[in-house]
Amino acid sequence: MENFIVSARKYRPSTFKSVVGQASITTTLKNAIKNNHLAQAYLFCGPRGVGKTTCARIFAKTINCINLDENVEPCNSCESCNSFNENRSYNIHELDAASNNSVEDIRNLIEQVRIPPQVGKYSIYIIDEVHMLSSQAFNAFLKTLEEPPAHAIFILATTEKHKIIPTILSRCQIFDFNRIRVDDTVTYLEHIAKNENISVEVDGLNIIAQKADGAMRDALSIFDQVVSFSGKEITYQKVIENLNVLDYDYYFKITESFLKNNISDTLLLFNEIIDRGFDAHHFINGLSAHLRNLLVCRDEITLQLLEVGANIRERYREQTKLCHPDFLFKALEISNKCDVSYRLSKNKRLHVELSLIELCNITAEKKKSNISFFEKKETENDEDPSKLTKNIEKQEIKKEEKVKLETQKPRQKPTIGKTTSFNTFSIKEKLNQLQKQVDKVEEPEIKLDKKEVQLNNEFTEKELVNKWHEFSNSIGNKPRIFNTLTSKDPKLEGNNIVSFIIDNNLQEVKINEIRNELLVYLKRELKNTSIDLKLIITELEAENNKLYTTEDKFKHMLSKNESLGKLKQEFNLDLE
Residues 324, 364 within the same domain:
yes
| DSSP strand pairing (532-537 vs 497-502) | parallel
Please report whether residue 196 resides in a domain.
yes
Residues 206, 124 within the same domain:
no
CA distance 256 to 265: 10
CA distance 459 to 453: 13
Residues 117, 215 within the same domain:
no
Residues 133, 261 within the same domain:
no
Consecutive H or E run containing 13: none
Please report whether residue 403 resides in a domain.
no
CB atoms within 10 A of CB 204: 25
> What is the SS3 assignment for 498?
strand
Residue 378 contacts by C-beta under 8 Å, 6 or more apart in sequence?
A: none
Residues 322, 466 within the same domain:
no
Q: What is the CATH number for 347?
A: 1.20.272.10
Please report whether residue 437 resides in a domain.
no
Helix axis angle for 348-369 and 280-296, nearest 10°, is 30
Q: What is the CATH number for 489?
A: 3.30.300.180
Q: What is the CATH number for 51?
A: 3.40.50.300
End-of-domain residue from the set 162, 178, 194: 178
Consecutive H or E run containing 532: strand 532-537
If we measure between CA atoms, which residue out of 335, 301, 308, 157 comes closest to residue 245? 308
Domains: count for the chain: 3
CB atoms within 10 A of CB 314: 11
Please report whether residue 107 resides in a domain.
yes
Side chain identity at 509, as an amino acid letter? Answer: V
Residues 116, 205 within the same domain:
no
End-of-domain residue from the set 127, 148, 178: 178
Please report whether residue 559 resides in a domain.
no
Contact at 8 Å (CB) between 191 and 163?
Answer: no
Please report the beta strands in 88-129, taking only residues with DSSP state E, as ranges in sequence order: 92-96, 123-128
- The distance from CA 166 to its chain's CA centroid, rounded to whole angstroms, is 34
Judging by beta carbons within 10 Å of its beta carbon (0-12, 13-18, 19+), is residue 186 exposed, middle or buried?
buried
Helix axis angle for 216-230 and 236-243, nearest 10°, is 110
Residues 100, 155 within the same domain:
yes
Model pTM score: 0.58
Residues 54, 87 within the same domain:
yes
Please report whether residue 173 resides in a domain.
yes
Residues 104, 168 within the same domain:
yes
CB atoms within 10 A of CB 154: 24
Please report whether residue 87 resides in a domain.
yes
pLDDT by 10s per residue, the chain, length 576: 467 888 888 888 888 888 988 889 999 999 999 888 899 999 999 999 898 999 999 998 899 888 888 888 888 888 888 888 888 888 888 888 888 888 898 899 888 888 888 777 888 999 999 999 888 899 888 888 888 888 999 999 999 999 999 989 999 999 999 999 888 899 999 999 998 898 988 888 888 988 888 889 999 999 999 998 888 888 888 888 888 888 888 999 999 999 988 899 999 999 999 988 888 999 999 999 999 999 988 888 888 788 777 778 888 888 988 888 889 999 999 999 999 999 888 899 999 999 999 999 887 766 555 554 445 444 554 545 455 445 545 555 555 555 455 545 444 444 444 434 344 445 546 545 555 554 444 444 444 444 444 467 888 888 888 888 888 888 877 787 888 888 888 888 876 888 888 888 888 888 888 888 888 888 888 888 888 888 888 754 444 455 656 777 777 777 767 677 777 777 777 776
Helix axis angle for 263-275 and 280-296, nearest 10°, is 120
Residues 276, 363 within the same domain:
yes
CA distance 510 to 513: 5
Tell me which residue range forms the domain holding 355.
184-369
End-of-domain residue from the set 369, 387, 411: 369
Contact at 8 Å (CB) between 77 and 68?
Answer: no
pLDDT of residue 81: 86
pLDDT of residue 182: 87
Residues 162, 192 within the same domain:
no
Please report whether residue 297 resides in a domain.
yes
CA distance 68 to 237: 46
Residues 242, 346 within the same domain:
yes
